[in-house]
């Protein structure tokens, strides 16, 4: 399968460089230079992954990510300058799956792209021991990639799905932030506590009756997270 990747940055040199890297691996590349163009390109093309800069004219990357997440769960990788840590966190908060820090190299970029596409198409390298997992009022069907809470379908991003599946497959077991990241992202973990915290927060908002007092996804102080329930 040939994947279509949307690359959006107001700096044409960066777009050109990313396009060269991606095309060298056989990906199709659609280019955009501001947030409005990115949304238009998404409407006009079958896009499988988006790489988008934070700071752009007309509509920035955070706003674009937020708009896309209202109706689409395709992987989104945020581009941000090294000093823009708050932008990375904000991007994750509104639904981005990953981020790349400028300046970046081709190896890192392609590794992130491959990892996110893999999670989106088959949701990682997790061994399929069963197809359906249930915890209380939560059900995850790994054949259809469908999650339900009280029989209502819940839309999750690939990373959210991966975290939930990991926890539901191992009910009651505590996973550290590093373990979750390495298992779901399939990359070495470094300074990932905030990233995992943001994704856990999103899962609670989507699945728990009261996200501030979760019944299922529990924090274990100083250790990590687990899922509980009958």
What digits encode the pLDDT tens for the residues 174-197?
999 999 998 898 888 888 999 999
- Is the confidence at residue 1, as pLDDT, over 90? no
Q: How far is CA 76 from the centre of its chain?
A: 6
Q: Is 49 helix (H, G, I), strand (E, B) or coil?
A: strand
Domain at 4-122: CATH code: 3.40.50.2300
- pLDDT mean over 41-53: 93
pLDDT tens-digit profile of 77-130?
998 876 666 777 777 888 888 888 888 889 989 998 988 888 776 554 333 445
pTM, entire model: 0.60
* Separation of alpha carbons 48 and 78, rounded Å: 15
Mean pLDDT of the chain: 87
Sheet holding 98-102, edge to edge: 28-32, 4-8, 49-53, 76-81, 98-102
pLDDT digits (tens, 9 = 90+) for 15-41: 999 999 999 999 999 999 999 999 999
**Roughly what angle, to the nearest 10 degrees, separates helices 193-207 and 177-184?**
80
Residue 124: its pLDDT value, please?
42
Q: Under 8 Å CB-to-CB from 90, ≥6 apart: which residues?
A: 62
Phi-psi bin for 117: left (phi > 0), alpha (psi -120 to 50), beta?
alpha
Q: Which residues contact 114 (CB under 8 A, 6 or more apart)?
A: none
Pick one of 1.20.140.10, 1.10.10.10, 2.30.40.10, 1.10.8.640 as the CATH number of 132-227: 1.10.10.10
Residue with tokens 């501001």, as numbered in its chain? 34
What is the domain partition of the chain in residue ranges? 4-122, 132-227
For 123-170, where are the E strands, in sequence order?
A: 132-135, 138-141, 146-149, 152-154
Place of tokens 């373990």: 179
């Amino acid at each position: 399968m040939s994947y279509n990747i949307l690359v959006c940055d107001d700096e044409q040199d960066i777009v050109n460089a990313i396009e060269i890297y991606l095309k060298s691996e056989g990906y199709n590349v659609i280019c955009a230079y501001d947030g409005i163009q990115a949304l238009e390109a998404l409407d006009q093309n079958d896009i499988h992954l988006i790489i988008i800069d934070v700071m752009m004219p007309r509509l920035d990357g955070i706003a674009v990510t937020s708009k896309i997440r209202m109706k689409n769960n395709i992987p989104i990788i945020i581009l941000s300058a090294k000093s823009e840590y708050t932008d990375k966190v904000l991007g994750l908060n509104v639904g981005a799956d990953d981020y790349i820090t400028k300046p970046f190299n081709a190896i890192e970029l392609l590794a992130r792209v491959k990892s996110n596409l893999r999670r989106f198409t088959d949701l990682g390298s997790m061994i399929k021991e069963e197809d359906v997992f249930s915890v209380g009022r939560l059900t995850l069907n790994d054949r259809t990639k469908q999650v339900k809470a009280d029989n209502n379908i819940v839309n999750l991003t690939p990373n959210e799905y991966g975290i939930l599946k990991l926890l539901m497959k191992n009910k009651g077991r505590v996973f550290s932030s590093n373990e979750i990241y390495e298992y779901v992202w399939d990359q070495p973990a470094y300074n990932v506590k905030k990233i995992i915290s943001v994704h856990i927060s999103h899962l609670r908002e989507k699945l728990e009756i009261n996200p501030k007092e979760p019944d299922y996804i529990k924090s274990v102080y100083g250790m990590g997270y687990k899922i509980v329930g009958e």
